Structures are given as C-alpha cells and as structure tokens.
Amino acid sequence: MKLVLHSYTFRRYPLRHVFAVARRYGWDGIELVHFHFDPARVEDEIAKAVTLGRRYGVPIHCVGYTGDFVGDDPSDRAASLALARRTIETCARHGIELVNGWSGTLERDPDDWRRNGSAIAEDRHYERAAEGYRQLGEYARRHGVRVGVEVYPGSVHDTVATTARLLAMVDHPNVFATADPGNAYVVSPADRDPEVLDQLAGRLGYFHLKNLHPDGGRADFNVDTADGVLDNYAWITKAYALGVPAICVEYCGTGDPHPPIARAGNYVRDCLALRDDLDRRHEAAEAIGANEAAEAIGAIGAAEAAEPNRAAAVDLSRPAGSSVATLVAKDAGPALAGAPGSGR
C-alpha cells in the first residue's frame, strides 16, 4: 500500500516545500491540489509540478479537480466538466493515472455540515452529478486515467451511503470512491464504523486519512492522526482488506504542520506493520491449534484401541504442548501504542 502526502497539509508553503518534506520522510508520492496550482492553467502548472517532483525524486500520485457539476446554471456545469477533462488529459500526458475531487456543493448552513449536501439534495442534483461523472469516466477511460469521487462535506456524496448511491447511478469502471472518514464523521453516525466501507466494496480506489474532534456540526481537525475520535487503525486495516492501493494522509489543522504530519506517517506505517505481524501470529496460532487437535484425536484413537473404557477421560479442552499465549509472547514486537512517532 502506497503512502501519499496531501499537499493541502502545506497549503501555506510553496510546492517545492511539499516535495522536500515528502522526500525527507519517505512518502511514496503527493496529491497535488489547487492550493498549489492554478486550475485555469492546468496544462502548464502540472507540467511544472511534474518537473519539480522529478527534481526531488517524489512523483505526483494524484491531481485534484474542482468545479460544480450539480448547480442550476448549465454553462457553469459545462465549464466545470471541460476543466476536469483538461485535467484528465494533462495527467495522462505526464503518466499520472488518478484525479480526485467532488462534484460541487449545496450549502444551507456553513456551520453545520449535517444540514448541507445530501441533506438538501434532490434527485435532479444526483442526476446531474451522475451524468457529469459518466462523461468524465468515459473520457478518462480513453486516456488511461481513473476518476475519484471523494466523500466530501456539502456534496451530494458526503457520506459512504450517498457516494455508493451516486456510483451506482454512474456505473462506470473508471469512476470510483475516495473514502474520507474524517469528512463524514459529523455528517452521519453510520460513517463512524469502518464496516460502512463494505458498501463500496469493489468501488473503493483511494483513501484519505486524518482525525478530528466533533465541534457541533463541524469538525475540529487540530488533532494528530493517531488521536481524535476515529480509530484509524481500524480504518486503515479495513481499507487494506478491501484492496485500497494507496492511503493519502493530510493534516487539516492550524499551526505548524510538520510535527503532526511526521508523526502521521510513522503512525500509518506502524499500523500496517502491526496488522501484518498480528496476521502472522494468528495464522501460526491456528496452525498450532490444528496440529495439537490432530494429535489429541490420534491419542484418543490409540487409547480407545488399548483401553476403550478410558476414552471418555481424555480432556480436549487442555491440549498438550505450547499454548497460544506462549506463542504470542515469544518474539513479541513493540505495541502500537507508544511506538516511536505514533503520537500515542
């Protein structure tokens, strides 16, 4: 699984700073968003960003698109789709296979995300979004690019369920979901459980990771990735189980972004390493349990053959040999909590 740095984290810094930080901390790529380029000049801007990335040895994994596919003005919708097509074509020219963004926003109350987006969306808004993404999906297919639809506050796809609804309407293999639990937590109680991602199984191609504390109807993002209300170990391992190829980490809070994003990278790596280690230990424990059970069954057969009356005395609840507890304790690695850079 690739580890991608979201350029929004360093929105107050020049793009060269994003690449330098990514190189220093060993990130696999960056997601380039409009805070670091002018979308109206997307062809020239992405070309310059790609050159800069090569200089630092860090590729652009993804480019963000912006626009409004759902508003009432058809000229605005057409202009937004045209710009997204230009972004897709430019990415294809430079070997960038992924664009990510959202379809626009519907806002009634800027201070309460629960009252915006899908809460006020009508069928016509979903139909407009779906038609736009069908067009982009087909254009992207011809150029070898995929289009991410991010779970985003204020959009018609501001929860996993509404994103799944939209993708079902779009029904195009080059259009998929980008999950972002931090964006959806205050919008929908269902989006607080990682199992909600099962609704996107087969259509989840990218993942945004951060953490938060609820602040009324909004989110306070001034918190480390390892803290806050999200159990990000559970989200990371669920995304991994569903085959997500890359996680993009962002810090959306205020203040100096360097310490929290450095801790975030170490935390995600710790989570993935712990997941692998626990899987190995579970497999080993199950194998030992199966072998001991087979030995016990063999012992029962031998005992029955020799002394049939003693067969009933064999206690399968306490097999001989190494216990699972002993196995787990042996060569145990450091726990996630308190690991260097974990933020715990």
One-character DSSP codes across 119-165: GT--HHHHHHHHHHHHHHHHHHHHHT-EEEEE--TTSTT-SHHHHHH
CA-CA distance, 101 to 267, in Å (whole number)? 25
Residues 6+ apart with CB under 8 A from 215: 186
**pLDDT of 214-254, one tens digit each?**
999 999 999 999 999 999 999 999 999 999 999 999 999 99
Q: Name residue 301's beta-bridge partners.
A: none
**pLDDT of 38-54, one tens digit each?**
999 999 999 999 999 99
CATH of 2-255, one of 3.10.20.30, 3.20.20.150, 3.40.50.1110, 1.10.3720.10: 3.20.20.150
Instruction: Report which residue type is found at 44.
Output: D
Sign of the alpha-carbon torsion through 182, 184, 185, 190:
negative
pLDDT higher than 50, residue 325: no
CA-CA distance, 289 to 239, in Å (whole number)? 29
> For residue 312, what pLDDT is reported?
41
Q: Name residue 62's beta-bridge partners.
A: 31
> For residue 303, what pLDDT is reported?
61
> For residue 192, what pLDDT is reported?
98
Helix or strand holding residue 101 (H, E): strand 98-101
CB 3 within 8 A of CB 246: yes
> For residue 304, what pLDDT is reported?
58
250 versus 322: which is more confidently predicted? 250
pLDDT higher than 80, residue 302: no
**pLDDT of 143-193, one tens digit each?**
999 999 999 999 999 999 999 999 999 999 999 999 999 999 999 999 999
Mean pLDDT confidence for 71-88: 97
CA-CA distance, 257 to 210, in Å (whole number)? 12
DSSP 242-269: TT--EEEE---SSS--HHHHHHHHHHHH
163 versus 309: which is more confidently predicted? 163
Buried b (16+ CB within 10 A) or exposed e, 17-50: ebbbbbeebebebbbbbbebbebeebeebbeebb
Average pLDDT, the chain: 88
285 versus 48: which is more confidently predicted? 48
pLDDT higher than 80, residue 113: yes
Is residue 13 exposed (0-12), middle (13-18) or buried (19+ Cβ within 10 Å)?
A: middle
Confidence of residue 327 (pLDDT cuts 50, 70, 90): very low
- What does the DSSP 8-state code read for residue 112? B
CA-CA distance, 5 to 237, in Å (whole number)? 19
CA-CA distance, 151 to 161, in Å (whole number)? 10
**pLDDT of 16-38, one tens digit each?**
999 999 999 999 999 999 999 99
pLDDT higher than 70, residue 298: no
Confidence of residue 300 (pLDDT cuts 50, 70, 90): low
